[in-house]
Amino acid sequence: MNKAKTSAEKSVSANSRTLSLLSQLEKINVSSVLGESDNARHVTSKILHLVQSQEKTRKEIISKGSTGIEVILSTLENTRDLQTILNILNILIEVVSVGGGRRASVLVTKGGTQILLQLLLTASKDSPPNEELMMLLHTLLAKIGPKDKKIGMKARINGVLNLSLNLVKQNLQNHRLVLPCLQVLRVYSTNSVNAVSLGKNGVVELLFKIIGPFSKRNTSLMKVALDTLAALLKSKTNARRAVDRGYVQVLLTIYVDWHRHDSRHRYMLIRKGVLQCIKSITNIKLGRKAFLDANGMKILYNTSQECLAVRTLDPLVNTSSLIMRKCFPKNRLPLPTIKSAFHFQLPVIPASGPVAQLYSLPPDVDDVVDESDDNDDAETETEIETEIDDDKDQHFKNDDIETDINKLKPRQELGRPMEELKMYEQFFPELSENFQELDLVSKEPKPFIPDANLSGPIVVPTASEEHTAEANPSTKEVALKECSPSLTEEYNRRPVSLELPKQDNMKNSSLHQQNDQRNMLPSYQCLSQEIVKGLDRISLQNSAKNDQYYGTGCVVKKESKDNLTTLACSKSCDHVSPCGGSLFEGSSVQLGKLCCTGVDSEEEGDSRSSSSGEHVMLQVSDVSPVHDCDLYLEMVKSTKSIPDYSEVAYPDYFGHIPPPFKEPILERPYGVQRTKICQDIERLIYQNDIIDRVVYDLDNLSCSVPEEADVLKFNSKFESGNLRKVIQIRKNEYDLILNSDINSNHYHQWFYFEVSGMKTGISYRFNIINCEKSNSQFNYGMQPLMYSVQEALRSRPCWTRVGTDICYYKNHFSRSSIAAGGQKGKSYYTITFTVTFQHKDDVCYFAYHYPYTYSTLKMHLKKLESMHNPQQIYFRQDVLCETLAGNSCPLVTITAMPESNYYEHICQFRNRPYIFLSARVHPGETNASWVMKGTLEYLMSNSPNAQCLRESYIFKIIPMLNPDGVINGNHRCSLSGEDLNRQWQNPNPDLHPTIYHAKGLLQYLASIKRLPLVYCDYHGHSRKKNVFMYGCSVKETMWHTSVNAASCNLTEDPGYRALPKILSQTAPAFCMGSCSFVVEKSKESTARVVVWREIGVQRSYTMESTLCGCDQGKYKGLSSCD
Beta bridge partners of 799: 787
Secondary structure, 3-state, 658-706: CCCCCCECCCCCCCHHHHHHHHHHHHHHCHHHCCCEEEEECCCCCCCCC
Instruction: Quickly list DSSP for 1100-1111.
Output: EEEEEEESSBBS
Helix (H) or strand (E) holding 734: strand 733-738
Cα–chain center distance at 180: 46
Collect all residues with Cβ–Cβ distance below 8 Å to 775 and sequence separation of at least 6: 390, 808, 1023
Closest CA to 755 of 837, 845, 653: 845
Rounded to whole angstroms, what are the CA distances from 391 to 395, 396, 417? 7, 10, 42
Q: Has this prediction a pTM greater than 0.85? A: no
CA distance 1036 to 402: 11
Evaluated on CA atoms 188, 194, 196, 201, the torsion sign reads negative
Side-chain-facing half-sphere of 1032: CA atoms under 13 Å: 30
Q: Which amino acid is at 908?
A: Q
Edge-to-edge strand order for the sheet containing 752-756? 713-715, 752-756, 843-847, 785-788, 799-801
CA distance 71 to 31: 13
- Burial class from Cβ neighbours inside 10 Å (0-12, 13-18, 19+) for residue 586 reads exposed
CA distance 1110 to 1099: 25
The reported pLDDT for the residue numbered 301 is 96
To 5 degrees, how large is the angle CA 246–CA 250–CA 256? 150
1104 is catalytic: yes
| Residue 21, helix vs strand vs coil | helix
The reported pLDDT for the residue numbered 1063 is 95
Rounded to whole angstroms, what are the CA distances from 105 to 93, 109, 150, 922, 951? 13, 6, 13, 50, 67
Edge-to-edge strand order for the sheet containing 565-569? 565-569, 554-558, 458-461, 615-618
The reported pLDDT for the residue numbered 746 is 82
To 5 degrees, how large is the angle CA 180–CA 185–CA 187? 95
Beta bridge partners of 914: 954
Secondary structure, 3-state, 138-207: HHHHHHHHHHCCCHHHHHHHCCCHHHHHHHHHHCCCCHHHHHHHHHHHHHHCCCHHHHHHHHHCCHHHHH
Backbone φ and ψ for 554, nearest 5 degrees, come out as -115, 135
Is the distance from CB of 134 to CB of 177 less than 8 angstroms?
A: yes
The reported pLDDT for the residue numbered 599 is 47
Backbone φ and ψ for 821, nearest 5 degrees, come out as 95, 30
Closest CA to 670 of 317, 397, 219, 375: 317
Is the distance from CB of 383 to CB of 810 less than 8 angstroms?
A: no
Q: Considering 94, 499, 1080, 1104, which one is annotated as catalytic?
A: 1104
For 409-425, give one letter per residue: b (16+ CB within 10 A) or e: ebeeeebbeeeebeebe
Instruction: Quickly list DSSP for 225-275.
Output: HHHHHHHHTTSHHHHHHHHHTTHHHHHHHHHHHHHHH-TT---HHHHHHHH
How many Å is the maximal CA-CA distance in the chain? 127
Cα–chain center distance at 491: 47
The reported pLDDT for the residue numbered 433 is 87
- Burial class from Cβ neighbours inside 10 Å (0-12, 13-18, 19+) for residue 1047 reads exposed
Is the distance from CB of 852 to CB of 1121 less than 8 angstroms?
A: no
Q: Which amino acid is at 527?
A: L
Q: Which amino acid is at 733?
A: E
CA distance 246 to 244: 6
User: In order along the chain (1122 residues), what is the average pLDDT of each group of 10 residues?
Assistant: 44 65 82 68 89 82 80 88 92 83 86 92 88 93 91 90 91 92 93 92 94 91 95 95 96 96 94 96 95 96 94 94 93 90 89 75 60 47 37 49 66 82 96 79 41 33 32 34 33 32 37 37 34 28 31 34 35 32 41 47 38 33 70 95 94 90 90 91 92 94 80 96 96 96 90 96 97 92 96 93 95 80 75 96 97 97 92 95 97 95 92 97 97 96 95 97 97 95 95 97 96 97 94 86 58 88 95 93 93 94 96 91 74
CA distance 296 to 288: 9
Residue spans of beta strands (DSSP E) within 1031-1110: 1100-1106
Closest CA to 599 of 612, 616, 585, 586: 616
Side-chain-facing half-sphere of 877: CA atoms under 13 Å: 17
Helix (H) or strand (E) holding 910: helix 903-910
Q: How many residues does the chain have?
A: 1122
CA distance 591 to 649: 6
